[in-house]
């Protein structure tokens, strides 16, 4: 026998055959009746419905034939599969392809054959409907039409069943997910006509309750948002809006208390060919977690403000070009000025005349670069007339393109009490200066380890100690024995100090223990140890400290809560009680900054998450529709001002629905993600890729004319078409169509620009897809 032919799409054909789950299944009454009817109509000895996988021919239905499967290489039907059209053999003994076939050579073997392909989706020939005769014969044109008609019927039945099974599976998945589907009827009145099974899990109300004739959906909506929802639904029904999207609260009484859920509501109207609204389809998403994140961010900001207040310092920001000074509200209150008075008052008028010239000189020194920052103590007039001493530190944090300073930020610290007591010990002044510097460095860099690297050696020098440690008590430490190291110095060994510094940068956690540590961390009591400290009193793991002949172990507070500890050890001069009062400002500052550091981390994490949710498409990670549209508006304004070339491309993946229908939505999602990855590889950093919805994307190419934009889009298209998309063991062939157009001076609004790109995309599809057309 000659080798059997194989169709070009063999791998995809077999893959679809296995996905349909037809092989080795039980008999089907419908298919059995079709084979019997075809056998009688064509007066054949046998009729078969065949399915061909890689190695065999298996019979889904058969009459007049005993075997359940045959080798594919001996199959007549494999030739029908390869050709994709009906095949007729009037005498197999005279056909060189089959004359040596074992089923022809056997007694009463195959003599005449007629087979029509069973074809799905116009390209996948899965098997045949065929008849076999034991004597040579001819088949009439009418008989072959019967055969082909029944083959098409079988294919349609298989496809319909597959789509129904997929629809049921999708609906089951949706019912188990976080989105509840609902449908409102319009006539005779607006009321829910369908509610998904997962309604109670998503919005807290049973579907049967929501479908009751005496229950209106808006009754469960919080009164504060109810009127807006009704108004927007009415605009949707009246055809004034294409879609509705909003957040609102759903309220439910549960055991005598109100339970509130935040719901994200998206809805669209189904319309007939004349544009009349038939029904409204909606999707309800439980967005309570997102709102909780938003509230957590608000709370984190409030806590950050509290930490600022507790730190006893005030922030300022000076716009140098416009000479506008923005000072924290608490500082204005502290000086007794209301906001209106502060805006109308020049800050120079508040500075003591004897200090103004030197202050301006210090500012100029920093602006010229001769000083790395501005720092000065000066007097400023209170609203009631007396002067307040201020220690102010600032730094330029923003420059223009010519490196001219634009903005300087810094802090004010009221030092009136300290300046009034000039006879106080010099060490206290040094501590206060250190506190101001630490606060400033933290405000600018937000790196607490840098703060400790700067402050700890100075504190050790003031106390004449050779061992120093600063640690932050971890919130997760239930036994309050785990601290995050921020500073560790052993003056006798610089090499060890540098090694510990590297570990601290990587997040060194130290387990501490012993009677002395318990008193400090659990009771919040400072400990003066004038004698050598044993391991029973103080334990450090995994850090090994040198023998401690004495030590001062102090708690770090934030609002009476112990948040960390400081250790200063090994002095030759002993520890006096006055050291506690001397170090108190630094201890309070370090405790406050520890708390601020933690609050700032939580705030930044919340901001980052909210920004990601608000600006990116969740599936693909590219810009969402809102962000893309905002970028379009910005570039549109730039074009109107500077006439800079701007081009936009709208891209649509060809036959994407077929990918979802054939391979499932997981495969479709993977295609969308991979499409975005490949596209971004072909684009510049300034180009913006956004997802407009579904499989529709857009690329904004600023400062780019239409010709150059076409080259970029063609690179994307060729990259997509050149290599099949991989999903599990499947190779998915994907192409795209694109419409490209450059912004014109005749475009009065963005919609004009986008409409041309959309029209070009439509022409690309009309021309056969997988191409780029300009508009």
Q: What is the pLDDT of residues 511-523, one digit of tens each?
A: 888 888 888 888 8
pLDDT for 339: 58
Q: What is the DSSP string of 254-290?
A: ETTEEEEEEEEEEEEEEE-TT--EEEEEEEEEE-HHH
3-state SS class at 614: helix
The reply to whether 177-286 and 625-774 are identical in fold is no
- Distances in whole angstroms, Cα of residue 509 to Cα of each of 398, 424, 451, 498, 564: 36, 38, 18, 17, 13
d(CA 108, CA 369): 106
Confidence class for position 311, pLDDT limits 50, 70, 90: low
Give pairs for 9-12: CB < 8 Å, separation 24+.
9/123, 9/124, 11/731, 12/124, 12/731
- Distances in whole angstroms, Cα of residue 598 to Cα of each of 241, 294, 472, 553: 45, 18, 10, 23
Per-residue pLDDT tens for 699-727? 999 999 999 999 999 999 999 999 999 99
Buried b (16+ CB within 10 A) or exposed e, 163-180: eeeeeeeeeeebeeeeeb
Rg (CA), the chain: 39
Catalytic residue among 695, 706, 759, 766: 695
414, 390 Cβ separation under 8 angstroms: yes
pLDDT for 338: 67
Residue 104, both tokens: 């022809």
pLDDT for 508: 84
Which helix (H) or strand (E) covers residue 490, if one does?
A: strand 482-490
pLDDT for 301: 62
The CATH class, in words, for 625-774 is alpha beta
Q: What is the dihedral of CA 584, 588, 594, 595, to 10 degrees?
A: 160
Mean pLDDT, residues 667-688: 95
d(CA 91, CA 133): 10
111: nearest Cα among 131, 140, 91, 130: 91
3-state SS class at 575: coil
Mean pLDDT, residues 224-244: 92
Buried b (16+ CB within 10 A) or exposed e, 742-753: bbeeebeeeeeb
Residue 757, both tokens: 């790109």
Domain boundaries, the chain: 10-169, 177-286, 424-611, 625-774
Angle ∠(84,90,91) on CA atoms, nearest 5: 120
Mean pLDDT, residues 123-127: 94
DSSP secondary structure letter of residue 219: G
3-state SS class at 510: strand
Per-residue pLDDT tens for 483-526? 888 888 886 556 666 777 777 777 788 888 888 888 888 888 88
More confident of the two residues 513 and 610 = 513
Mean pLDDT, residues 288-304: 73
**Chain centre distance of CA 278:** 35
Residue 401 annotated in active site = no
Mean pLDDT, residues 247-272: 90
d(CA 690, CA 194): 33
d(CA 490, CA 344): 54
User: How many angstroms separate the most distant Cα atoms in the chain?
Assistant: 127
134, 110 Cβ separation under 8 angstroms: yes
pLDDT, the chain, mean: 87
Backbone phi, psi, residue 50, to 5°? -110, 150
pLDDT for 458: 87
Antiparallel, parallel or unpaired: β 509-513 and 539-541: antiparallel
Confidence class for position 753, pLDDT limits 50, 70, 90: very high
pLDDT for 171: 66
pLDDT for 173: 65
pLDDT for 318: 87
More confident of the two residues 154 and 449 = 154
* pLDDT surpasses 80 at 50: yes
687, 703 Cβ separation under 8 angstroms: no
Backbone phi, psi, residue 189, to 5°? -145, 165
368, 361 Cβ separation under 8 angstroms: no
| CATH value of 10-169 in 3.30.450.40, 3.40.50.300, 3.30.160.270, 3.40.190.10 | 3.30.450.40
* pLDDT surpasses 50 at 423: no
Among the residues of 336-425, which ranges form H helices? 339-344, 353-368, 416-420
Residue 131, both tokens: 């008849």
pLDDT for 689: 96
* pLDDT surpasses 90 at 438: no
Buried b (16+ CB within 10 A) or exposed e, 348-384: eebbeeebeeebeebbeebeeeeeebbbebbbbbebe
Burial class (CB in 10 A: 0-12, 13-18, 19+), 417: exposed
Q: What is the DSSP string of 123-185?
A: TEEEEEEEEEESS-----HHHHHHHHHHHHHHHHHHHHHHHHHHHHHHHHHHHHSSEEEEEEE
pLDDT above 90 as % of the chain: 49
* DSSP-assigned beta bridge partners for residue 567: 469, 553
Give me the CATH topology for the region 177-286.
Beta-Lactamase (3.30.450)
389, 414 Cβ separation under 8 angstroms: yes
| CATH value of 424-611 in 3.40.50.2300, 3.30.450.40, 3.90.1170.50, 3.30.70.270 | 3.30.450.40
């Amino acid at each position: 026998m000659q080798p059997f032919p194989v169709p070009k799409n063999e791998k995809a054909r077999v893959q679809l055959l296995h996905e349909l789950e037809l092989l080795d299944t039980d008999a089907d009454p419908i298919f059995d009746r079709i084979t019997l009817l075809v056998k009688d109509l064509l007066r054949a000895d046998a009729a078969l419905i065949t399915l061909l996988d890689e190695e065999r021919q298996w019979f889904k239905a058969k009459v007049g034939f005993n075997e359940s499967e045959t080798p594919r290489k001996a199959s007549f039907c494999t030739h029908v599969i390869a050709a994709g059209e009906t095949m007729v053999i009037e005498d197999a003994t005279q056909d060189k392809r089959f004359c040596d076939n074992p089923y022809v050579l056997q007694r009463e073997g195959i003599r005449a054959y007629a087979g029509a392909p069973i074809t799905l989706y116009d390209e996948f020939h899965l098997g045949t409907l065929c008849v076999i005769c034991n004597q040579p014969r001819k088949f009439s044109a009418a008989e072959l039409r019967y055969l082909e008609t029944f083959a098409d019927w079988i294919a349609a039945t298989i496809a319909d069943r597959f789509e129904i099974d997929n629809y049921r599976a999708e609906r089951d998945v949706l019912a188990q997910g976080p989105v509840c589907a609902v449908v409102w009827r319009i006539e005779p009145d607006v009321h829910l006509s369908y509610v998904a099974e997962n309604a109670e899990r998503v919005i807290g109300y049973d579907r049967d309750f929501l479908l009751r004739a005496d229950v209106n959906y808006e009754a469960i909506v919080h009164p504060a948002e109810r009127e807006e929802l009704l108004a927007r639904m009415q605009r949707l029904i009246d055809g004034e809006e294409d879609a509705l999207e909003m957040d609102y609260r759903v309220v439910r009484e549960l055991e005598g208390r109100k339970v509130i859920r935040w719901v994200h509501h998206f809805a669209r109207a189904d319309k007939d060919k004349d544009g009349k609204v038939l029904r409204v389809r909606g999707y309800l998403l439980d967005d309570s977690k997102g709102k909780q994140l938003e509230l957590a961010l608000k709370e984190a900001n409030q806590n950050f403000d509290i930490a600022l207040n507790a730190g006893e310092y005030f922030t300022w920001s000076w716009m140098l070009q416009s000479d506008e000074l923005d000072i924290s509200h608490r500082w204005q209150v502290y000086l007794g000025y209301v906001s209106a008075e502060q805006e109308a008052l020049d800050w120079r008028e508040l500075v003591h005349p004897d200090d103004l010239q030197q202050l301006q000189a210090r500012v100029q020194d920093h602006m010229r670069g001769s000083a790395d920052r501005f720092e000065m103590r000066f007097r400023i007039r209170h609203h009631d007339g007396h002067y307040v001493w201020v220690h102010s530190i600032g730094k330029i944090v923003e420059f223009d393109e010519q490196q001219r300073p634009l903005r300087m930020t810094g802090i004010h610290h009221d030092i009136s009490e300290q300046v009034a007591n000039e006879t106080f010990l010099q060490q206290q002044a040094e501590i206060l200066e250190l506190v101001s510097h630490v606060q400033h460095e933290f405000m600018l860099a937000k790196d607490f380890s840098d703060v400790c690297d700067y402050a700890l050696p100075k504190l050790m020098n003031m106390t004449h100690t050779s061992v120093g440690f600063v640690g932050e008590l971890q919130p997760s430490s239930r036994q309050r024995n785990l601290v995050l190291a921020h500073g560790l110095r052993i003056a006798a060994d610089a090499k060890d100090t540098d090694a510990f510094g590297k570990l601290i940068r990587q997040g060194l956690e130290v387990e501490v223990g012993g009677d002395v540590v318990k008193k400090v961390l659990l009771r919040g009591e400072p400990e003066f140890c004038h004698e050598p400290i044993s391991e029973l009193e103080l334990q450090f793991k995994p850090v090994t400290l040198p023998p401690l002949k004495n030590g001062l172990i102090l708690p770090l507070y934030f609002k009476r809560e112990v948040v960390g500890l400081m250790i200063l050890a090994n002095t030759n001069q002993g520890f006096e009680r006055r050291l506690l009062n001397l170090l108190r400002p630094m201890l309070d500052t370090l405790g406050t900054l520890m708390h601020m550091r933690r609050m700032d981390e939580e705030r930044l994490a919340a901001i980052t998450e909210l920004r990601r949710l608000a600006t990116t498409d969740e599936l693909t990670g590219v810009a969402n529709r809102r962000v893309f549209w905002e970028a379009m508006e910005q570039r549109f304004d730039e074009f109107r001002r500077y006439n800079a070339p701007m081009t936009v491309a709208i891209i649509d993946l060809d036959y994407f629905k077929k990918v979802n229908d054939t391979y499932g939505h997981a495969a479709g999602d993977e295609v969308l993600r991979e499409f975005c990855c490949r596209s971004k590889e072909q684009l510049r950093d300034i180009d913006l890729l956004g997802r407009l919805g579904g499989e529709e994307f857009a690329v904004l190419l600023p400062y780019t004319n239409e010709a150059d934009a076409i080259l970029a889009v063609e690179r994307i298209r060729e990259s997509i078409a050149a290599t099949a998309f991989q999903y599990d063991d499947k190779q998915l062939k994907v192409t795209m169509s694109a419409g490209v157009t450059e912004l014109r001076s005749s475009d009065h609004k963005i919609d004009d620009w986008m409409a041309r790109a959309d029209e070009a995309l439509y022409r690309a599809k009309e021309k056969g897809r997988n191409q780029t057309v300009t508009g």
